Amino acid sequence: MDSRRTRMLLVLALLAGFAFGYPALAVVEALARCCLPAAVVVYMFLAWALVIAVAAALVLRRGERGR
Amino acid sequence: MIATLVALLASLLYLGLLFGIANYGDRSAARDHTLIGSPLIYTLSLAVYCSAWTFFGSVGLAAEAGVAFLPIYLGPTVVAVLFPILHGKILTIAKAYGITSIADFIAARYGKSSLLGGLVTLVALLGTIPYISLQLKAVANSLDTIFAASLAGQGGGPVPEPALIVALVLAVFSILFGTRHIDATEHHEGMVLAVAFESLVKLAAFLAVGLFVTYGMFDGIGDILGRLEAAGRGALLTMAATGLTYVDWVTYTLLAGLAFLALPRQFQVTVIENVDKDHLRTATWMFPLYLLAINLFVLPVAMAGVVLGRGGDTLMLELPLAAGSHTFALIAYIGGLSAATAMVIVATIAISTMISNDLVMPALLRIERLRLGQRHDLSKLVLAIRRAAIFLLLLAGYAFFRLVAERIELVSIGLISFAAIAQLAPLILLGLFWREAGLVGALLGLVSGFAVWFYTLILPALVFAGWLDPAILEEGLFGIALLRPQALFGLEGLTPVTHAVLWSLGVNTLLMVVGSLATRPSDLGRLQAILFVDVEQRQSSTRLWRGETRVAALQDLLVRFLGRERAVRIFAREALRRGQSLRAGDRADAELVQLAERQLARAIGATSARLMVASIVRGEVIGPDALLQILDETSQAIEYSQKLKQKSRELETLTDELRRANERLRQLDQLKDDFIATVSHELRTPLTSIRSFSEILLDNPGLPAEQQRQFVEIIARESQRLTRLIDDVLDLSKIESGRMEWEVDDHDLRRIIEDAVGTSQGLMRERGISVIAKFGVRRAPVRCDGDRITQVMLNLLSNAAKFVPAEGGRIHVELRGLGNEFLVRVEDNGPGVPPAMREAMFEKFRQIGGSMKDKPHGTGLGLAICREIVQHFDGRIWCEEAKLGGAAICFTLPVRETAPRTADRVRSV
């Protein structure tokens, strides 16, 4: 795996860490209080799916599949 | 109602199926046909992470605290994204050095320390026992739930000690499929295949039960949500319901990520059982996807339980039973059993390897009275230790379940385990990326972190189980309030797990860093640090033994641990690779010593292997200083070699240049010979005429006056020709030697051209040649020697006149401005000059004829003189195709830059 993709995975891990924790949760929680009670649940699963999709895109880019 | 007997029968059938799959996997492997070569199987085997805690505990927790179960899966998701970076490096190290377990990995990193390996094993062991008890409790609770339902239906009967029965069956399974070979790095293909199958089963079971509860018992998630709201429990889906602060949430996520990295069973499937490093890339996204999928229905099932007024760790079973569905209850039971058995099997195999390789064998080998080093076959002893360890581990798990865990929730037990295992994470991470991390720091960090873990988590658990006085929690140890286990040094307001994790990992990391910086590692420790941290760079440079032993001694050592057949095979393969036989009496080189140690490490771990090899090799390990010196010398040699290559390349270039110069000299020599021949010929021709006619005149004084006059004219003409030739040779010689005196002044190039054309007009008219001059500028100020430029023009005109046809000859002269230059072009309608000759025609004695025989009239010096003159005044001269069809000789002279100056009389330098 080339160094650029490695760096991007590292960045993704850091962003995922933020997305799954404080302060992202605090923002979503504020949203939940005002209008959408299940906002935390919806947000969590969406963020989770997004991280998976980006990770897949990074490791399965053209020319890398099936090695 | 479903009968307990049916559940037990299903359990036995399921375990029988597992046996079948594992057996099939092992048999295929024995036929060199691997079934675990797929990244899908690899990823499914990683899902051993999802144990009964996931299957039962998450739902139970969600029913009470909403999304509080999620951090346990978000942490590993973040670590999975880093698989190619983190585990890629770990895999490279493990494959290179024959690592057999997480304890072996850590011990090898910190100087192959048997003490550290033993401590890591103890921590892993004590951290895993509660985890195993969690699985036993989950299965026992499941059976109890089914049993309770059976009683209500008057079917089946009580199961005596279901947890014990499960523990014993799992022990048999693990022993059969986990301890077949002594080589711990050999893949347990059957076990991996069975675990992958179990991952599929538990996922399918969870999804099936989730769908049944959501769409069979209710009308979808909307219906459940509506009823939840109606029951006044809508807040279950908010952060407030979790009872966790943001600090707790982040700590749980971190804890899960670190535990996932350091769990012995995860290390086993991720690293030891990996058959292709590239599988990590697929697992990077597929494993988090599995986690996401298995958690999809946790909340719907939990909410359904809340709506129906139920809760606890057995919701997955209770809901189908409440709906009267025996089938889905059985599916839930099998799913839970599957999750529990997979975890127990892999964990016991991993821990038993650690116990034998890093705890028991190093200890036994140090007891000289046992004389184990002299025994002929130790492989059976190693296998016996592993089997006993598996058995005892499961019994310990059962004991913990009976004594403590029975009174604690599944999730709490799991978190206690995680916090213990996470103590290994700083040793792994710092060891991988920080070269200064040393053994003393690792020991200090691990011991202190584990002690804090025990004090802040196990002590309270023992209190809750009724084994210790609750006063410890309220008043602190020895009545010191600052030492309260759940509020250490006054840190309050956190959950017990967050409190324990922050303290234990904080102390662990701090002391590890301080200990590493304050002490100097041993030579071996520093060496191992270099090899681990820079594994990609230094993997191939591992000939580090500087000692002495014989081939026979090494072979005997391998025979004792691996058996004769395998040891002989290893040495035969090595001999084949080297292309020479390894004789028993030969001195073993460093490479062979390393091969033996590596093979031994695969069976008994790096620590024990080092002890055994050290016992027969008299010598020492090369320390980092010596290693760096060798590297320096190697670098110098490489640098020297590169310099030599560079010199060689330069020499080749110089040789080429010399060859070209020599060729040029040869050509010049040929030209010189030609020149001398030409000049001699040219001189001789007029001289011969002069001499002949002079002799005629002398010998015949009576010749008629008219004839005498004709002869004298010939003599005069030939004398002029002779003078011209000598002038040309002298001019060129002066210019080339720098002795030419130039009369440099400001001139009008147009005027010079007009004069030259006018001068040659008579000659041209005589030969019937029409000369047309075109001027693109009114004035062409240049600074030059006017006579010399006139000479150039006359030369070009006479040269053109030589080549035009006898009739209809035409010469065009053109002058125009070209940027900061003036361009003069003299073209004719003669035969022209072939492109290949256009450059060479300006060289001395070059004439278009090509040979001395058919050369045109002239000395062959005219154009060479023109070039020297033009170049002297910073101009250029060249030949190109003429519009008239013949040749066009062009030259340029720079426009005079400054105001007119006085004439200079300079000598070229």
**What was the ipTM of the complex prediction?**
0.92
* Last residue of one domain, picked from the residues B358, B373, B407: B407
**Mean of pLDDT values over B341-350:** 89
CATH number of B675's domain: 1.10.287.130
Q: Per-residue pLDDT tens for B401-457?
A: 887 766 666 667 778 889 999 999 999 999 999 989 999 999 999 999 999 999 999
CB atoms within 10 A of CB B479: 10
- If asked whether residues B401 and B549 sit together in one domain, one would say no
Provide the chain A residues 34-63 that lie in CB contact (below 8 A) with chain B. Answer: 37-38, 40-41, 44-45, 48-49, 51-53, 55-56, 58-60
- If asked whether residues B694 and B776 sit together in one domain, one would say no
* Last residue of one domain, picked from the residues B571, B595, B622: B622
Q: Nearest C-alpha of chain A: how many angstroms from B70?
A: 9
| Cβ–Cβ below 8 Å for A52 and B292 | yes
Residue A49 lies in a domain: yes
Q: Per-residue pLDDT tens for B519-570?
A: 988 877 888 888 888 877 655 444 455 566 788 888 888 877 777 778 888 8
Q: What is the pLDDT of residue B907?
A: 47
Phi/psi for A37 (5° steps) reads -60, -35
Which residue range forms the structural domain that includes residue A16? 3-59
Q: Which residue has the higher pLDDT, B623 or B417?
A: B417
List of chain B residues whose C-beta atoms are within 8 Å of the C-beta of residue A49: 292
Average pLDDT over chain B, rounded to an integer: 84
Q: Which of A7, A28, A52 to mutate to test the interface with B (most CBs of B within 10 A)?
A: A52
Q: Per-residue pLDDT tens for B480-526?
A: 888 999 888 888 888 889 999 999 999 999 999 999 999 988 877 88
pLDDT at B378 over 80: no
Pairing status of strand B545-548 against strand B618-621: antiparallel
Residue B237 lies in a domain: yes
- If asked whether residues B609 and B642 sit together in one domain, one would say no
Provide the chain A residues 10-29 that lie in CB contact (below 8 A) with chain B. Answer: 10, 12-13, 16-17, 20-23, 25-26, 29
Task: Please count the helices (runs of H) and the strands (runs of E) in chain A.
Answer: 3, 0
Q: Nearest C-alpha of chain A: how many angstroms from B289?
A: 7
Q: What is the pLDDT of residue B404?
A: 72
| Cβ–Cβ below 8 Å for B237 and A41 | yes
User: Would you state the structure tokens that stand for residue B476, as one six-digit string?
Assistant: 């602190």
By three-state DSSP, how is residue B159 classified?
coil
pLDDT at B571 over 90: no
| Cβ–Cβ below 8 Å for B81 and A13 | yes
pLDDT band at B182 (very low <50, low <70, confident <90, very high): low
Count: domains in chain B: 4
Q: What is the pLDDT of residue B773?
A: 92
pLDDT at B621 over 60: no
Provide the chain B residues 255-314 that lie in CB contact (below 8 A) with chain A. Answer: 278, 281-282, 284-285, 288-289, 292, 296, 299
Residue B271 lies in a domain: yes
Residue B285 lies in a domain: yes
The residues pairing with B748 across neighbouring beta strands, listed in sequence order, are B781
pLDDT at B317 over 70: yes
Put simply, whether B246 touches A (Cβ < 8 Å) is yes
- If asked whether residues B603 and B656 sit together in one domain, one would say no
pLDDT band at B184 (very low <50, low <70, confident <90, very high): low
List of chain A residues whose C-beta atoms are within 8 Å of the C-beta of residue B278: 67
Residue B280 lies in a domain: yes
| Cβ–Cβ below 8 Å for B246 and A6 | no
Residue B457 lies in a domain: no
Residue A35 lies in a domain: yes
Count: domains in chain A: 1
Q: What is the pLDDT of residue B542?
A: 47
Tokens 């279950």 label which residue?
A: B236
Q: Per-residue pLDDT tens for B825-880?
A: 999 998 888 888 888 888 876 666 544 444 456 667 788 889 999 999 999 999 99
- If asked whether residues B111 and B40 sit together in one domain, one would say yes
Q: Which residue has the higher pLDDT, B599 or B77?
A: B77
- If asked whether residues B687 and B746 sit together in one domain, one would say no
* Last residue of one domain, picked from the residues B407, B436, B462: B407
Which residue range forms the structural domain that includes residue B877? 740-907
| Cβ–Cβ below 8 Å for A48 and B278 | no
Lowest mean pLDDT among B191-200, B614-623, B710-719: B614-623
- If asked whether residues B677 and B609 sit together in one domain, one would say no
Task: Identify the sign of the CA torsion B515, B519, B525, B527.
Answer: positive
List of chain B residues whose C-beta atoms are within 8 Å of the C-beta of residue A16: 74, 77-78, 81
Residue pairs between chains A and B whose CB atoms are closer than 8 Å:
97
Residue A65 lies in a domain: no
- If asked whether residues B578 and B653 sit together in one domain, one would say no
Lowest mean pLDDT among A21-35, B62-76, B123-137: A21-35
Q: Nearest C-alpha of chain A: how many angstroms from B207?
A: 16
- If asked whether residues B712 and B781 sit together in one domain, one would say no
Residue A15 lies in a domain: yes
Residue B238 lies in a domain: yes
| Cβ–Cβ below 8 Å for B292 and A64 | no
| Cβ–Cβ below 8 Å for A48 and B77 | yes
Residue B446 lies in a domain: no
CATH number of B899's domain: 3.30.565.10
User: Would you state the structure tokens that stand for residue B504, as one six-digit string?
Assistant: 């234990």
Considering only CB atoms, A10 lies closest to which of B85, B234, B235, namely B85
Considering only CB atoms, A67 lies closest to which of B82, B85, B278, namely B278
- If asked whether residues B666 and B796 sit together in one domain, one would say no
Q: Which residue has the higher pLDDT, A2 or B655?
A: B655
Radius of gyration of chain B (CA): 50
pLDDT above 70 covers what percent of chain B?
Answer: 89
Lowest mean pLDDT among B26-30, B197-201, B317-321, B498-502: B26-30
- If asked whether residues B667 and B750 sit together in one domain, one would say no
| Cβ–Cβ below 8 Å for A59 and B246 | no
Phi/psi for B621 (5° steps) reads -85, 140
**Mean of pLDDT values over B683-700:** 85
Scanning every residue of chain B, which has its alpha carbon at the shortest distance from the alpha carbon of A57?
B285
CA–CA distance, B839 with B844 (Å, rounded to integer) = 12
Residue B156 lies in a domain: yes
Q: What is the pLDDT of residue B411?
A: 67
The reply to whether omega before B835 is within 30° of 0 (cis) is no
DSSP structure class, residue B356:
I
The beta strands (E) that lie in B166-207 are given as none
Q: Nearest C-alpha of chain A: how many angstroms from B51?
A: 20
Pairing status of strand B810-818 against strand B877-881: unpaired
pLDDT at B80 over 70: yes
Considering only CB atoms, B78 lies closest to which of A16, A44, A64, namely A16
CA–CA distance, B166 with A37 (Å, rounded to integer) = 42
Residue A66 lies in a domain: no
**Mean of pLDDT values over B888-901:** 81
In the chain, the amino acid numbered B574 is: E
| Cβ–Cβ below 8 Å for A52 and B285 | yes
- If asked whether residues B649 and B557 sit together in one domain, one would say no
